[in-house]
Amino acid sequence: MNLIALGSKLSRYREQLQLSVEEVTAAIRISPDRLRSVEEGTLEPTGDEVLMLADLYRCDFKFFISNEQLAPFEQTEILYRKHGSEFTKDDRRAIQEFLYLCETEHFLMEELNATHREFLAPPVSGHFKTDGIKAAEAFRRFNQHLSNEVPRDVYGEIRQTGVHVFRHKLGNSNISGLFLAHPKAGKCILVNYSEDVYRQRFSAAHEMAHAIFDAEGGPSITYSSTDKNDYVELRANTFASRYLMPPEVLRQLPHPERWTQADAGHWAQELRVSCHALSIGLQAERLVSEEAFQRIKSSRVPRTRKIDPELPAHLTDRQRERKTRLLERGLSSSYVALCLDAASQGLITQGRLAEALLCDSAELQDLLSLYGRAPDVD
């Protein structure tokens, strides 16, 4: 084992998560001097210490004990160099959990021989808005949508292309989402679960545009308000709008000039978008006056009426509350099902299942009960 390389990996993880030596040693119950020596490469840690550090840092322990260099270090370091002040310690922890989920999902899909459909966007013309439109039209065809059909499960449609998309709660409400190319898992999208549920759909579609066009450009974050002169963001917004609200759909709506605020809320609900996004889509197609635009933009869909495809209506109030807490940490129903399928086929142990689901053994039993699975999954 290369102790210098191991120590460097451990210290870089700790520093990216903004954890002090004292915080780490208190969590894993070793002395600060011992951790410093391990990080300096002058002392070999025990196997248990490596496992505890890997669990604390949400990283595969095999990365630490091998000469493997593949890890999202470079991507997250670029992200934090550019936008470090935007992320609290808790948000950095959330991003690390997100990356861990992406890598675990990638691993489990390989173990289960799960396949995905590759989406090939049209060639880039260099005209950002046009490229966004053409890619959205192609993605709708890829998903076999009729011209007047509204996508319902945006997350499922993105996942089937092999792109990892997780919703995870971030403390910074100004961040809508981020895109990152993981060296193992590939294209990864995080959507801020703190956002309104319909805004999350738009954010997922927006980040999908970054996955299509900007994977070679390094990690990026998207803010709730974007610069109108940022053409990369313009392309992503155009893709999201045209994918979720194609002109054919908007033109078939009753004349929006006569809409009341209740009407605006009704049609936004039908399209599963915010009234704000609907108003911009209508304006882009020149279907509204400035007065109607402002009226629709200021309308709202009541939060209690909004539909989340991962929180179906048949859930009891308690089940909905428990699944909401899971979604806040990125544990989508599709990811949980993937983990449970791997465990039921004996591909992972119950201990590894608990790790994959970010819980301990007691929490695992509760989660299995929620998903109607027997406790002895392995």
For 3-71, the fitting CATH number among 3.20.20.70, 1.10.1740.10, 1.10.260.40, 3.30.360.10 is 1.10.260.40
Rounded Cα–Cα distance for residues 133 and 60 (Å):
39
User: Using a CB cutoff of 8 Å and minimum separation of 24, what contacts does 153-157 make?
Assistant: 153/309, 154/201, 154/204, 154/205, 154/244, 154/309, 155/204, 155/309, 155/310, 155/332, 155/334, 156/309, 156/334
Q: Is the pLDDT of residue 65 over 90?
A: no
**pLDDT for position 68:** 65
**pLDDT for position 71:** 67
| Phi-psi label, residue 330: left if phi above 0, alpha if psi -120 to 50, beta otherwise | left
7-20 mean pLDDT: 92
**What is the pTM assigned to this prediction?**
0.91
161-186 mean pLDDT: 94
282-298 mean pLDDT: 95
244-266 mean pLDDT: 94
Q: Answer yes or no: same fold for 3-71 and 72-244.
A: no
Of residues 74 and 141, which shows the higher confidence score?
Answer: 141
Give the residue extent of every domain in the chain: 3-71, 72-244, 247-308, 317-371
pLDDT tens digits along 276-288: 999 999 999 999 9
Q: What is the mean pLDDT of the chain?
A: 92
**pLDDT for position 241:** 95
**pLDDT for position 378:** 46
Lowest mean pLDDT, pick from 75-89, 122-136, 194-208: 75-89
Fold that domain 72-244 belongs to in CATH = Arc Repressor Mutant, subunit A (1.10.10)
